[in-house]
Chain A
Amino acid sequence: MIFNKNIKNLLIILVSTLALSACAAGKKSASGSNDVYTGNATVKYLASGVKDRVFFATNRSALTTASRDTLRKQAGWMRKNKNLNVVLEGHGDERGTREYNLALAEKRANAARDYLLTYGISGKRISVISYGKEKPVNSASTPLAWSQNRRSVTVKTK
């Protein structure tokens, strides 16, 4: 039974990974496909080893391998703590128009949400809000700051 369940989970992951990479390939573009932030300077932890945020490339909402790893750990943490709910806050950088950023940041937070759902976390426990480019974590006008600002942050709502 347990073995079966694991296989089922694995299949879901495989399928969703395929779907995401297909999507990413379809939207591949000239601008910024490799500018995802990989550092930890702005990261906070929801629990030991569980990062609170994932990062995105310019104009993109696809999850990277590292992002999926982070979200997998968040899902495990949510499974262990059945009473807590989260809000996923989507953000963009200052290099896009305001309205498009609102939509893009919503899409980013939903990409994270969809991934959590594939791990069997109930949709009722996850809400989403987009802040567009309105709440940067780094105020500077540098590629590093922009990469830190393109993010989806998982926040405990209790």
Chain B
Amino acid sequence: MKKIFYILTIFLFKFNIAYSLIEVDITRGNLDPLPIAVSPLHVDSQSDNYQDVKTKELGELISSVVEKNFRSTGLFNPLNKDAFVQKPDIAHLKPRFEDWSLITAQALVTGKLLIKDEKLKIEFRLWDVAANKEMIALAFTTTPSNWRRVAHIISDKIYERLTGETGYFDTRIIYVSETGPRTQRVKKLAIMDQDGENTKYLTLGNELVLTPRFNPTNQLVTYLSYFRNKPRVYLLDIETGIQEVVGNFPGMTFAPRFSPDGKKIIMSFAKNGNSDIYTMDLESRLVEKITEDSSIDTSPSYSPDGKYITFNSDRSGLQQIYIMKSDGSGVKRISFGDGLYGTPVWSPRGDLIAFTKVRGGKFYIGVMRSDGSGERLLTENFYQEAPSWSPNGRLLVFYRETKAGKEGEGFTAKLWSIDITGYNERELKTGTDASDPSWSSLLSK
């Protein structure tokens, strides 16, 4: 992916760091989303007609992807294009701010595209309507087939400029696609863009696969496969499709994740009824046992600096969350609330741990600080689990299952996301039922 996508030029026409009037506070939720006008990209008259998608349509498609991204945040309110007075080409050169402020727009995005010799050049600008100012102007050159990624990168730049946070639109989500009745479920690894587009299947469904997770560069995935009816942790290269089993364990390995530097895989190994946590160095193949306890130790996740590990253990009797140093020393329980706690996963910012909580027959997705304080439950449902962080640490994606009837009817498994503010809970549309989502890091850093 990276190879075919290249940014030839990023012109910073003018990066206005001066204080501007628009500011989106993303820590308070989405009570008052910012009205933003996304003018369709206008087509430069020197453009060739691009073979697959008509050039003019491409301008509209890109702006609609940007718009959809903004709407999905709950922080922005993209305005209806019917109300736009100024033509896209003129607005891009010099917006008539009075017109835009009349339709309540506080921010305006304009752009232009040019297709020449199989290259797509896109320029866009973000304007502060109230301050009558340009906030960013950037240009990208790529192959026309990469238009979606450009739309996501533009979205990220605008999001970053307006919120002060890193964006998360130029990312993908890997998950398990599910079809068929519950007693004979067919599961495949699937990957899609963060907005649900470009779904591709990575396995055929011949064997059960679970819990895929990206490495830090998003080229490798570690997951559990029942290949030849032996549940083992595998490694998959997304580009080449090559799969290999991780280590040579005489029993089930499961719950894998990469270390933050991508050099190790941390996972559980179950033997004679006891599950402990192990790491394997992918280069030296050296295996290390991290926990030594007769209880179930699983769902390990590293802190972003790699110094600590959070995990799940029932050593106290029931599932609780623990942290320890990455060598296994200094084990400390951090969950003490009412109920069971599972699937701890460390935020990429390092401050929070997301988890699944089971209490009174309900399932919750929540966050707590890494010392166990400040527990906040974000969402309650019949069944939901397995949170995974957006790369900027602002959102969680997880899966939710509905209650099944007598013959399993009415059962669905879907991906959902929620802001850590507890606002903006949304379903991520997938072609099939879906579970075990894992969010990639930003594709272009």
Q: Is the CB of A98 within 8 A of B183?
A: no
B151-191 CB contacts (< 8 Å) to partner A = 181-183, 185
Which of A106, A131, A135, A141 is in CB contact (< 8 Å) with B273? A106
Q: A94-B383, A136-B182, A139-B182 in contact; A103/B268 too (CB < 8 A)?
A: yes
Q: Is the CB of A102 within 8 A of B252?
A: yes
Is A134 positioned at the interface, with any CB of B under 8 Å from its CB? yes
Q: A95-B358, A111-B273, A139-B407 in contact; A100/B401 too (CB < 8 A)?
A: no
How many residues from A make CB contacts under 8 Å with B? 35
Which of B185, B211, B275, B358 is in CB contact (< 8 Å) with A106? B275
Chain A residues contacting B181 (CB-CB under 8 Å) are: 139
Q: Is the CB of A107 within 8 A of B383?
A: no
Is A59 positioned at the interface, with any CB of B under 8 Å from its CB? yes
With A and B bound together, what is the CA distance between A50 and B296 in angstroms?
Answer: 31
With A and B bound together, what is the CA distance between A103 and B356 in angstroms?
Answer: 17
How far in angstroms is the closest Cβ of chain A from B291? Answer: 12
Closest chain A residue to B436 by CB distance? A98
Which of B183, B229, B436 is in CB contact (< 8 Å) with A137? B183
Is B6 positioned at the interface, with any CB of A under 8 Å from its CB? no
Is B404 positioned at the interface, with any CB of A under 8 Å from its CB? yes
With A and B bound together, what is the CA distance between A94 and B314 in angstroms?
Answer: 18
Q: A59-B318, A98-B385, A134-B210 in contact; A103/B275 too (CB < 8 A)?
A: yes
How far in angstroms is the closest Cβ of chain B from A63? Answer: 12
Which of A95, A134, A139 is in CB contact (< 8 Å) with B411? A139
Chain A residues contacting B403 (CB-CB under 8 Å) are: 141
Closest chain B residue to A59 by CB distance? B318
Is B432 positioned at the interface, with any CB of A under 8 Å from its CB? no
How far in angstroms is the closest Cβ of chain B from A27? Answer: 5
A106, A107, A111, A137 — most chain B CB neighbours (10 Å): A106
A133-152 CB contacts (< 8 Å) to partner B = 134-137, 139-142
Is B408 positioned at the interface, with any CB of A under 8 Å from its CB? yes
* Interchain residue pairs A-B with the least CB separation, the first 5: A139-B408, A110-B273, A97-B342, A103-B275, A139-B182
Q: Give 26 CB contacts A-B under 8 Å.
A: A26-B317, A27-B317, A29-B318, A97-B342, A97-B385, A97-B386, A98-B385, A99-B268, A99-B298, A99-B342, A100-B298, A100-B299, A102-B252, A102-B268, A106-B270, A107-B270, A107-B274, A114-B273, A130-B231, A130-B270, A131-B208, A135-B183, A140-B405, A141-B403, A141-B405, A142-B406
Residues of B whose CB lies within 8 Å of any CB of A are 181-183, 185, 208, 210-211, 224, 229, 231, 252, 254-255, 268, 270, 272-275, 296, 298-299, 312, 314, 317-319, 340, 342-343, 356, 358, 361, 382-383, 385-386, 401, 403-408, 411, 435-436
